[in-house]
A and B are shown apart, each in its own frame.
Chain A
Amino acid sequence: MAILGLGLMAGGYYISKEVHIGFLEDLAKQGIPLDLGKTISAIGVFLIVLPLLRLFYFNPLGDAITNRTSELENTFSEAESLRQEMQKMKSDYEQRLNATEARAREEIQAQIREAQNMRQSLMAEASAKADEFLKKAQEEIAMEKERVLVDLRLGVVDMTLQATERILGENVDDAKNRKLIQEFIDTAEVKQ
Chain B
Amino acid sequence: MGELFSIGRSLFAASEGGHHGPSYEGLFLYVAIVIAVLFGFLTVAKSGLKDRVFVKWPTQWLEQLYLFIENMCVGIIGAHGRKYVPMIMTFWCLIFVSNIVSLFFPTAPTADLSFNLALALISIGYVQYEGIKANGLFGHLSHFAGPKLGIGLIAITGMIFIIEIISELMKNVSLSLRLFGNIHGGHQAVESMNQLVPYVPMGFFLLPIKLLTCVVQAMIFSLLTCVYLSLVTAHHDDHEHDHDGHGEPAAAH
Per-residue contact bits, chain B 112-139, to A (CB 8 Å; 1 contact, 0 not): 1111011101100000000000000000
- On whether the beta carbons of B19 and A31 are closer than 8 Å, the reply is yes
Per-residue contact bits, chain A 14-44, to B (CB 8 Å; 1 contact, 0 not): 0011000000000010011111111111110
- On whether the beta carbons of B46 and A56 are closer than 8 Å, the reply is yes
Q: Which residue of B lies closest to A71 (CB)?
A: B52
- On whether the beta carbons of B90 and A40 are closer than 8 Å, the reply is no
A16 to B23, CA, bound (A): 9
Task: Say if the beta carbon of B57 comes within 8 Å of chain A.
Answer: no
A43 to B94, CA, bound (A): 12
Option from B24, B27, B63, B86 in Cβ contact (under 8 Å) with A59 = B86
- On whether the beta carbons of B121 and A39 are closer than 8 Å, the reply is yes
Q: Would you give the shortest CB distance from B159 to chain A, in whole angstroms? A: 26
Q: Would you give the shortest CB distance from A29 to chain B, in whole angstroms? A: 10
- On whether the beta carbons of A54 and B90 are closer than 8 Å, the reply is yes
- On whether the beta carbons of A58 and B66 are closer than 8 Å, the reply is yes
- On whether the beta carbons of B46 and A42 are closer than 8 Å, the reply is no
Total interface residues in chain A, CB < 8 Å: 34
Q: Would you give the shortest CB distance from A120 to chain B, in whole angstroms? A: 75
- On whether the beta carbons of B66 and A39 are closer than 8 Å, the reply is no
A36 to B21, CA, bound (A): 13
Option from B86, B90, B119 in Cβ contact (under 8 Å) with A42 = B119
Q: Which residue of B lies closest to A50 (CB)?
A: B90
For A13, the chain B residues whose CB sits under 8 A away are 24
A64 to B27, CA, bound (A): 35
- On whether the beta carbons of A38 and B24 are closer than 8 Å, the reply is yes
Task: Say if the beta carbon of A134 comes within 8 Å of chain B.
Answer: no
A37 to B90, CA, bound (A): 22
- On whether the beta carbons of B62 and A42 are closer than 8 Å, the reply is no
Task: Say if the beta carbon of B224 comes within 8 Å of chain A.
Answer: no
- On whether the beta carbons of B90 and A53 are closer than 8 Å, the reply is yes
- On whether the beta carbons of B66 and A42 are closer than 8 Å, the reply is no
Chain B's interface: helix, strand, loop or mixed, by majority? helix
- On whether the beta carbons of A37 and B49 are closer than 8 Å, the reply is no
Given the contacts A38-B24, A62-B66, A46 and B119 also touching, CB distance less than 8 Å: yes
Task: Say if the beta carbon of A45 comes within 8 Å of chain B.
Answer: yes
Option from A28, A34, A46, A60 in Cβ contact (under 8 Å) with B46 = A60
Interface residues of A in 138-153 (CB under 8 A from B): none
Q: Would you give the shortest CB distance from B136 to chain A, in whole angstroms? A: 24
Option from B52, B63, B89 in Cβ contact (under 8 Å) with A53 = B89
Q: Would you give the shortest CB distance from A125 to chain B, in whole angstroms? A: 81
For B89, the chain A residues whose CB sits under 8 A away are 53, 58
Option from B31, B63, B67, B115 in Cβ contact (under 8 Å) with A39 = B115
- On whether the beta carbons of A33 and B21 are closer than 8 Å, the reply is yes
Task: Say if the beta carbon of A119 comes within 8 Å of chain B.
Answer: no
A16 to B24, CA, bound (A): 7
Task: Say if the beta carbon of B207 comes within 8 Å of chain A.
Answer: no
Task: Say if the beta carbon of B20 comes within 8 Å of chain A.
Answer: yes
Task: Say if the beta carbon of A65 comes within 8 Å of chain B.
Answer: yes
Option from A35, A50, A54 in Cβ contact (under 8 Å) with B114 = A35
Option from B19, B28, B38, B86 in Cβ contact (under 8 Å) with A41 = B28
23 A-B interface contacts by CB (under 8 A)? A13-B24, A32-B113, A33-B114, A38-B27, A38-B112, A38-B114, A38-B115, A39-B114, A41-B24, A42-B27, A42-B115, A46-B118, A46-B122, A53-B86, A56-B42, A57-B45, A58-B85, A60-B46, A60-B49, A61-B63, A61-B66, A62-B66, A71-B52
Q: Which residues of B contact A (CB under 8 A)?
A: 19-21, 24, 27-28, 31, 35, 38, 42, 45-46, 49, 52, 62-63, 66-67, 85-87, 89-90, 93-94, 109, 112-115, 117-119, 121-122
